[in-house]
Chains A and B, each alone.
Chain A
Amino acid sequence: MKFETPAGTNPIDQLKVVGKPTDRIDGKFKTTGTAPYAYERHDVAPNQAYGYIVGSAVAKGRISSMNLADAKAAPGVLAIVSTLDHKPLPLGPQNTANLFGGAEVQHYHQAIALVVAETFEQARAAANLIRVDYARTKGKYDLEALAPTAPLEGGGSGEGSAAPAIDRVGNFDGAFASAPVKLDQQYTTPGHSHAMMEPFATIAAWDGPKLTVWTSNQMIAWAKRDVAKTLSLSPENVRVDSPYIGGGFGGKLFVRADVPLAALGAKAVGRPVKVAMQRPLIANNSTHRPATIQRIRLGATKDGRITAIAHESTSGNLPEGKPEVAVQQTKLLYAGANRMTLMKLAVMDLPEGNAMRAPGEAPGLMALEMAMDEMAEKLGMDPVEFRIVNDTQVDPEKPQRPFSQRQLVKCLRDGADRFGWSRRSAKPASVREGRWLIGMGMAAAFRNNQLTKSAARVRLDGKGMVTVETDMTDIGTGTYTIIAQTAAEMMGIGLDKVVVKLGDSDFPASAGSGGQWGANNSTAGVYAACIKLREQVGQRLGMTGDVEFADGEVRAGGRSAKLADAARNGPLTAEDFIEYGDLAKKYQQSTFAGHFVEVAVDSFTGQTRIRRMLAVCAAGRILNPKSARNQVIGGMTMGAGAALMEELAVDKRFGFFVNHDLATYEVPVHADIPHQEVVFLDEVDPISSPMKAKGVGELGICGVGAAVANAIYNATGVRVRDYPITLEKHLTRLPQVA
């Protein structure tokens, strides 16, 4: 089905099942331990051996020699796969760092060997017996030092976010120079690690030329493509299966070293091999959100209308890597006739930078929305009003292009009302409770709605059960449930009559999970397949014209039949996909939110504790308010981490992320996260898809870090522009408590 014109009324609009806050249909499996994750799939292949990954001890250089003798002789060892025995494996198109093979080391903890043994403990013990000599070479690890000479570079993050190196509209320089009120500030964000709960993990098994990998991956079709390329296999000989995923956040968009290593290990020992990447390797072996140095300039009239807006971002990456697209939202979020965005990219020797939850917008809004707060103060305006004054209903770079829906103003106004924003003191550092300085902050959130082809297959059997099969993934987002809701709505049945099977590359290729595009596109693909199935049912039952599917029955022209009757003589199967015309060119499609945060800062120790958080979101139809809320509060939590504690600490001498485990790379725990409220505006967007939905999985993280930062400033009167806002950055400048 090609979606070319805005959706009219369709069966989804009944909202009998879709739009309800249904519990997850996979929840009982997850809470009872019966949803097996990749490493736990003991039953998929017999006689599994264990692999243990060895990571490079240096960040850059060459391996001069590897002594495997002791490790090979260690108890239980079956084989050692050495990087020196392989040429560098070909890479998937969105990646830059070598996954395995060759003597060259590009980054710290690059995989250089896999030890395969009868038990995990034997493999681990043997791995520590491998002796490696390196010829270390000097690398570039200091973004701040490299930034001044970094060249201009456009590009994208690998999951669809992209921007050119320079983009100009009007005359920024002239307008900024003549603006009555100006801001020119630098903001920095550090590298972030996905730090998902489930590590990268794979079981690989060969059957002649055919390889199956049971793994943990967000994008099954990409994974199949990249496994084939990496291992020089024909794609039809590759099967990827990933029904349950314990978090990915962009880290599992791509095939990581566990996959080819498990496959090479399995080949070497002639039996299935399972590999989980050890936690201390994850931060340096895999990808991360790159650090940024951003400059924002704003020029405005005295009544707060932006006349000039410029956003520059410098990030670093390995040679051939892409920039972090931190300027992306600035092209679309606020009005202003004169505009400029610019990106620079320094070549560095740290691990590969790539997509992490809301690539571009997450760090970009941390800067832009702090700048907006600072500018509002310069103008003497309320920060909510300043944003409202500069709202735009069209793409500011292409004014003939309207937003399909844009209710940012309502998000901000409703949020301000609900949060009690009017009680905020505009004067910083003026609210105290004992030792604590109290402040409120807000920010706008923005994230694009990306459209991509997505297919599904649906089957009706003689018992009236509908089975949906698609290679779509559920990365903890609730995909199983919204797909079941979609099929139930379309076929006029209850959720108990729907079975959803996901994550298998033998199923039709879906949008996958990334860029908050999964929910809208994958359910639209199921919608398309169900439309075909409805036609088949109608034909089988001899019903034409206006056929109604409701209550397990099919009705038309005064007749009715059980849905199951249509499959009495054998199951009916329909497969289709959704693809999109040019509505995305005619209309800018985005999601919006207003974030409001209250913090308390200890005037003695400088510790920040968040007290309240509210997000009011406008993101099209909300397919399941419960799982959508879950996504938004997860994003808000991650944004709180980015504001207050998350930072990949770089050792600039040796070139690695030092805090490479979950004890030292701190993410928020329950005690950090207070009351969180999420409100969804009642919205449908008929331009997005037949579902009239958009994504929310990344909207929650967008802007929230700046809202925390702005609340800290309101509490303390000390502006910190260098994330995370750890206590030492304002400690000695805090106002005293009387």
Chain B
Amino acid sequence: MKPFTYERAKTPAEAAAIVAGRPGAKFIAGGTNLLDLMKLEIETPTHLVDVQDLKLDRIEATREGGLRIGANVTNTALASDDRVRRDYAVLTKAIVAGASGQLRNKASTAGNILQRTRCPYFYDPNQPCNKRKPGSGCAAIGGYSRQLAVIGSSDACIATFPGDMAVALRVLDATVETVNPQGGTRSISMADFHRLPGNTPQFDNTLQRGELLTSVTLPKPIGGQHFYNKVRDRASYAYALVSVAAVIQPDGTGRVAVGGVAHKPWRVEAAEAAMPQGSRAVATRLMAGAKPTADNAFKVPLVERTLGAVMHDAGMKRTAA
């Protein structure tokens, strides 16, 4: 860990301005990811701007009938909120499928969305990694890649976005709100928030330098049965091999987003039209163009089968696997 300075910002715009104006500055909220990365010198901020005093810790109803979730609402508070549990159960299920109780008590909503990949080569500073050190190469390609991306990857990076909560936010059509150093705000759909690696895998998302995530907004509830099926080798405290967030309506229509397969929560709206035809029809469209490695080729059929499990639990008839 490199020595760094620390301050607590008073307002979101002030926080954004400090980070924008100071090379090497970063925001810190719960710190559950950033501090680990700093200890390994994967992240080397010279200045930390603590955002915990910004009063972004409330969950409020919106005029449109949805919920606005402050960036600093803890994962525990969000998952246990009565309105979330009632109207957005997929979000609660996704959050409690991740990390541990202790981490969820500390981790923030924004931090969860902004968590970095868990690619083991990203985590080993001896190994080349274009995400950690642009231009150094990718040791994961041709290496041990069982956990890594099968779709939307590039020749520069096959890392995945590791989170659960953002997969549920994607299926719920959430948007994130930000403030920039000039005090301006914008709203970004979850679909556009995380990005594919391309030639610049060092950028996980579409935030600009200094732009601060202030809230996440859920549109009004859409009803249906909510599922989050996270598939992993051990029953808790593990990242998803594949996860499926789904909302399924009584008529068999629905929405699906998949975690653990790409550099972002993976959703193809056009594939959802095939929901009434079953998991294979959806998965074929959803995973079209997948380029798995030998280690992780199983993730492609696993997406279909995990969706099949969800549809089975929803009471939908299974189609051939």
A residues contacting B by CB (< 8 A) are 57-58, 75, 121, 124-125, 128, 280, 435, 602, 604-607, 609, 644-645, 649-651, 653-654, 658-661, 663-664, 666-672, 724, 726-728, 731-732, 736-737
Contact = CB atoms under 8 A, between A and B. Distances in A.
Most buried by B among A57, A605, A660: A605
Nearest to A657: B144
Which of A58, A75, A644, A664 has its CB near the most chain B CB atoms (within 10 A)?
Answer: A664
Interface string B219-248: 000000000010111111111010000000
Interface in B18-72: 39-41
Contact of B144 (A58, A124, A659, A668): A659
Contacts of A653: 142-143
Given A653-B142, A731-B301, A605 B229 contact: yes
Among the interface residues A75, A121, A667, which one has the most CB atoms of the partner chain B within 10 A? A121
A671 B144 contact: no
Nearest to B3: A125
A736 to B, nearest CB: 6
A650 B143 CA distance: 9
A649 B146 contact: yes
27 contacts: A57-B126, A58-B126, A435-B309, A604-B309, A605-B306, A606-B302, A606-B305, A607-B231, A607-B232, A609-B235, A644-B234, A649-B146, A651-B139, A653-B142, A653-B143, A658-B120, A658-B143, A659-B144, A666-B234, A667-B234, A668-B234, A669-B234, A671-B235, A672-B236, A727-B231, A736-B318, A737-B318
Given A435-B313, A605-B306, A280 B146 contact: no
Contacts of B236: 669-672
Contacts of A661: 123
Contacts of A669: 234-237
A26 B298 CA distance: 48
Given A660-B124, A732-B301, A604 B233 contact: no
B1 A125 contact: yes
B121 interface: yes
B1 A658 contact: no
Interface in B127-158: 127, 139, 142-144, 146-147
B302 A605 contact: yes
Contacts of A602: 309
A728 B41 CA distance: 34
A693 B27 CA distance: 60
A664 to B, nearest CB: 5
Contacts of B239: 663
B116 to A, nearest CB: 13
Contacts of A671: 234-237
Nearest to A121: B1
B1 A672 contact: no
The prevalent SS among residues of B at the interface is loop
A655 B143 CA distance: 10
Given A57-B126, A605-B302, A736-B321, A280 B233 contact: no
Contacts of A125: 1-3
B312 A737 contact: yes
A672 B144 contact: no
B181 interface: no
Nearest to B41: A128
Interface string B90-123: 0000000000000000000000000000101101
A666 B236 CA distance: 10
B308 interface: yes
A602 B321 CA distance: 14
Given A605-B309, A658-B121, A727 B234 contact: no
B244 to A, nearest CB: 10
A523 B259 CA distance: 54
Contacts of B2: 125, 128
A546 B54 CA distance: 81
Nearest to A122: B3
Contacts of B232: 607
Given A653-B143, A736-B318, A737-B312, A644 B305 contact: no
A466 B85 CA distance: 60
Contacts of A651: 139, 143-144
Which among A57, A58, A607, A667 has the greatest number of chain B C-beta atoms within 10 A?
Answer: A607
B270 to A, nearest CB: 24
Contacts of B233: 644-645, 666, 724, 726-727
Contacts of A605: 229, 231, 302, 305-306, 309
Nearest to A663: B118
A720 to B, nearest CB: 13
A724 B125 CA distance: 28
Nearest to A609: B235
A664 B39 CA distance: 17
Given A604-B321, A664-B118, 7 more contacts: A280-B123, A650-B144, A669-B236, A671-B237, A728-B302, A731-B305, A732-B301
Nearest to B36: A663
B120 A727 contact: no
A206 to B, nearest CB: 30
B309 A666 contact: no
Q: Closest 8 interchain pairs by CB? A: A728-B298, A604-B309, A671-B235, A57-B126, A671-B236, A658-B144, A645-B233, A604-B305
A125 B309 CA distance: 48
A640 to B, nearest CB: 10
Contacts of B120: 658-660, 664
A602 B147 CA distance: 20
B143 to A, nearest CB: 5
A664 B229 CA distance: 20
A661 B123 CA distance: 10
A135 B80 CA distance: 55
Interface string B5-27: 00000000000000000000000
Contact of A731 (B3, B118, B147, B302): B302
B202 to A, nearest CB: 19
Contacts of B238: 666
Nearest to B321: A736
A612 to B, nearest CB: 15
A646 to B, nearest CB: 9
A60 to B, nearest CB: 14
Contacts of A645: 233-234
A124 B305 contact: no
B118 A654 contact: no
B321 to A, nearest CB: 6
A726 to B, nearest CB: 6
A672 B144 CA distance: 25
